[in-house]
Amino acid sequence: MSAVIQGACDTTAVLPLVAGNEQRIVAWLAGRPVRQSEFLRHVAAVAAQLPRAAAAVNLCEDRYHFLVAFAAVAVAGQTNLLPPSRARQDVDEVMGAHPGCYAISDRTLEASPPHLWQLPALDALNLAADAPIPLLPGSRIVAIGYTSGSTGAPKPNPKTWASFCASTALNATLLREQCADAALSLVATVPPQHMYGIEMSVLLPLLADVSVDTSKPLMPADIAATLAALPAPRVLVTTPVHLRALVQSDIALPQLAGVICATAPLCRELAAAAEARFATRVIEVFGSTETCVVAHRRSAEQECWQHYPGVQLRPQPDGTLVAADWFDAPVVLQDIVELLPGRLFRLCGRNSDLLEIAGKRASLADLTRRLLAIDGVVDGVIFQRDGDHCGVQRLAALVVAPDLGEAAILAALRSAMDPAFLPRPLRKVEKLPRNETGKLPRAGLLAALNTEKSAEE
């Protein structure tokens, strides 16, 4: 795949909305290719009809509708607001922080937020015969992404068009080097509202030789069918949760040029199983809403990560300072790293993930990995409960294991970890409170734990 853009760090520059020629395929809409020229006509028509405001919450579920609305909002000089989820409470909180904004949806909502604007049917739009490529100021804030809330309250992170162009150039280079140096067809199981989904399924189709299927398949059979309908070379953008379901299913996938995975730690065993099962390579990317993707590794073979050129990592007492030319300012992440030669680093866990109990140390990620390794455990997580009146932190676990009892799971954990880190309580649930990207917001974990406790009582 030939990347069709170059990194742009200069916020004083004027940069194109799309890159490539008018015949380049941007998306696959119900099996039909949408070329860049048609996409730009859709964007121009929608941008002309948008309400006048400074910002809009993009709630469109169809990926092509989201892509058109995202671009139209940016072209109109407005900002895309990206809540951590489409739950009404999250949407209301973001809209409350941006007075005068509105929401865009491509379907009827059960609980509509205020100032909802319905995206018009694209096939009914009066399209111009031609639409030039819009140019955006590099300094324009085209999106504000909110963190997932997995480690606390969601926080806003403004993104300029220059920073998006620069980071997308690096992601395009990664796909070219790790997957195929050709035009790629991409299927994503993650929603476009999430920053990982924005980077891989919205910005790459805009700024690189990548076309994206507009659906969001979740079940293994649907993922396989969606991939099979696209021309090779194909790339799957997914999460460890969806990858695990694919590996455990008996579904065969068409030939894949690569799998990109993120949103939660990917264990070596799962990555290796996926590579063997689907005869491809699995590339795990590392980033955040604050930074976008900054590093990658082939998890089946590599423990260490390699950060992108131009990224600087500086260990801090409370995490890691991440800097790059396209950042407005350095960002401190909670992740603890050990720097190694040649742009390599070892990820040692998160500041909030590291535990010390009875003078012994462990990480929540490693404890959860040991839980998931138990035969019969389908899904699970070990996490910290709120401290007691003395401030003592306790561990708890939620586990999906239809054929195992709680006592059997605890017995298996006793042989896998120090007794000081055994979760109390450990409760079986039908499913974990994962959001659309597979993450587990802390509020959802505590609510699920309290619900199970109440049911027992």
CATH of the domain at 18: 3.40.50.12780
What is the DSSP-derived secondary structure letter of residue 447? Answer: H
Q: Domain boundary residue among 267, 302, 337?
A: 302
Q: Does residue 342 sit within a domain?
A: no
The pLDDT of residue 7 is 46
Q: How is 24-82 classified by DSSP, letter by letter?
A: SEEEEETTEEEEHHHHHHHHHHHHHHSPS-SEEEE---SHHHHHHHHHHHHHTT-EEEE
Which domain covers residue 386, as residue numbers? Answer: 354-456
The pLDDT of residue 10 is 64
Is the per-residue pLDDT at 202 higher than 80? yes
Mean pLDDT, residues 173-179: 97
Other Cβ atoms closer than 10 A to 202:
24
Check if the beta carbon of residue 325 is closer than 8 Å to that of residue 166. Answer: yes
Mean pLDDT, residues 332-351: 88
The pLDDT of residue 358 is 57
Q: Please report which confidence band the pLDDT of residue 390 belongs to, taking 50, 70 and 90 as the band edges.
A: very low
Check if the beta carbon of residue 220 is closer than 8 Å to that of residue 249. Answer: yes
Quote the Cα angle for 437-238-37, to 5°: 100
Q: Does residue 157 sit within a domain?
A: yes
The shares of helix, strand and coil residues in the chain, as percent rounded to the nearest 5, are 30, 30, 45
The pLDDT of residue 254 is 97
* 363 φ/ψ angles, rounded to the nearest 5 degrees: -125, 145
Is the per-residue pLDDT at 49 higher than 50? yes
Q: Does residue 347 sit within a domain?
A: no
Q: Does residue 184 sit within a domain?
A: yes
Mean pLDDT, residues 393-410: 90
Q: Please report which confidence band the pLDDT of residue 454 belongs to, taking 50, 70 and 90 as the band edges.
A: very low
The pLDDT of residue 148 is 65
Of 119-123, 150-154, 284-288, 300-304, the least confident = 150-154
Mean pLDDT, residues 33-46: 97
Instruction: Mark whether 172 and 262 lie in a shared domain.
Output: yes
Instruction: Mark whether 22 and 133 lie in a shared domain.
Output: yes
Check if the beta carbon of residue 111 is closer than 8 Å to that of residue 132. Answer: no
Q: Domain boundary residue among 241, 268, 302?
A: 302
Instruction: Mark whether 155 and 259 lie in a shared domain.
Output: yes
Distance CA 169, CA 164 (A): 9
The pLDDT of residue 221 is 96
pTM of the model: 0.83
Distance CA 426, CA 166 (A): 45
Of 198-207, 280-289, 310-319, the least confident = 310-319
Domains in the chain, number: 2
Instruction: Mark whether 31 and 128 lie in a shared domain.
Output: yes
Mean pLDDT, residues 72-91: 90
Instruction: Mark whether 110 and 230 lie in a shared domain.
Output: yes
Q: Which two tokens stand for residue 334?
A: 């909670």
Mean per-residue pLDDT of the chain: 89
Q: Does residue 76 sit within a domain?
A: yes
